Amino acid sequence: MSLDFLVKYDSDGNWKWNRTWRTKVDDEAWSIGIDSLDKIYVCVHTLFHNVSILKYSTSGDLLWDKTWANNSIYQYWWQDMYIDSSDRIYITGYNRTYTMGIYDIFVGKYSIEYPGIFTLTCDSGSLDTDGNFDLTWTSSSGANNYSIYQYSSFITEINDSLILLADQNVTSPFPISGYSNGTYYFIGAAFNNYGNRTSNCIKLTVAIPPPTAPSSFTLSSDAETPDNDGNFTLTWTSSSGANNYSIYQYSNSITEINDSLILLEEEIDSLSLPLSGYSNGEYYFIVVAYNNFGNTFSNNHKIEVEITPGRREAKILGYNLIYLVTAVIGVSSILVYRRLKYK
């Protein structure tokens, strides 16, 4: 009976875990190797002269085992194992046939290709100002799919304490939204049939500015100085963040919104207002921009109306003089016609 074991210690020599396996035959563990992801490989020679590779995770879980040269013709003895920078495994040893005493040297190669190295980035850089951003990553050679994880501090390994945002079903770019102020850490993991590889860990700070009232803007008009017909259009520039606008009028410069003002239009979304029929005098106008967080006043805009005599058409009792003259002529023509007819 054979008893083999694998023990892991930390850098200070403290015991972390051990794995023991027992067989009914004289199996022997001859060599050990570590790949780029710190996975552990143990090469084993069995009594039946086969060679096996056992793969363990960093926490000691058996991930898989591979047996090679399991046949009735040749006998194999394992001598050594080497793992290169691309995680390809090479084994060396010697063998012989059962019926002959001739020994041969062999070299074997296992191509255990993990997903390639890849880089995770964020389109907001390291600072986001609205809580909405995209995570993107370069392609990992050999990867079948990807997962994305989040945590409150720098991520060094994948474990159950992480928040799994996407589980082997996500593509780049990966949109994320609705995050509040704070610091977040993200990491990606690429998977294939042989294992997984993690990306770099990125840190993102979300700092959303506090809500503000609409931005400043300017009120103007097409009125002349002075205006000579009492008809003009108020226009104003767009106020960033405004939902709507209200327009007020007064006989003096406006410093606050109160009941003494004349409200011309309330909560409109246009950027102009045509006005007409103003008589001689001085008029002051102001526009107020509103949103859910406050309001902002435009500048006061003064318009002086000075209509030149004869500029406006005379009006009688609210009727246009031309219409009245036309009506009188029409009536007179009918009366003349009737007199001529009955003479």
> pLDDT by residue (tens digit) across 185-233?
999 999 998 788 999 999 999 999 998 999 999 999 999 999 999 999 9
Residue 143 has pLDDT above 50, yes or no: yes
Q: Which residue has the higher pLDDT, 29 or 43?
A: 43
What is the share, in percent, of the chain residues with pLDDT greater than 70? 80
Under the banding of pLDDT at 50, 70 and 90, the label for residue 7 is confident
Domain range list for the chain: 2-111, 120-206, 219-305, 317-343
Candidate ranges 20-29, 77-86, 97-106, 212-221; pick with highest mean pLDDT: 212-221
Over the chain, what is the mean pLDDT?
Answer: 84
| 91-134 pLDDT per residue, tens | 888 777 666 667 777 777 776 677 889 999 999 999 999 999 99
Taking the C-alpha atoms of residue 223 and residue 278, their distance in angstroms, rounded to an integer, is 12
Domain 219-305 annotated CATH 2.60.40.10 = yes
Taking the C-alpha atoms of residue 106 and residue 162, their distance in angstroms, rounded to an integer, is 45
Nearest to 112 by CA among 35, 18, 201: 35
Work out whether strand 315-316 and strand 319-320 pair parallel, antiparallel, or are unpaired.
antiparallel
User: Do the domains 219-305 and 120-206 match in fold?
Assistant: yes
Taking the C-alpha atoms of residue 340 and residue 343, their distance in angstroms, rounded to an integer, is 6
Query: Can you tell me the mean pLDDT for 26-41?
Result: 80
Give the architecture (CATH level 2) of 120-206: Sandwich (2.60)
> Is this prediction's pTM over 0.85?
no
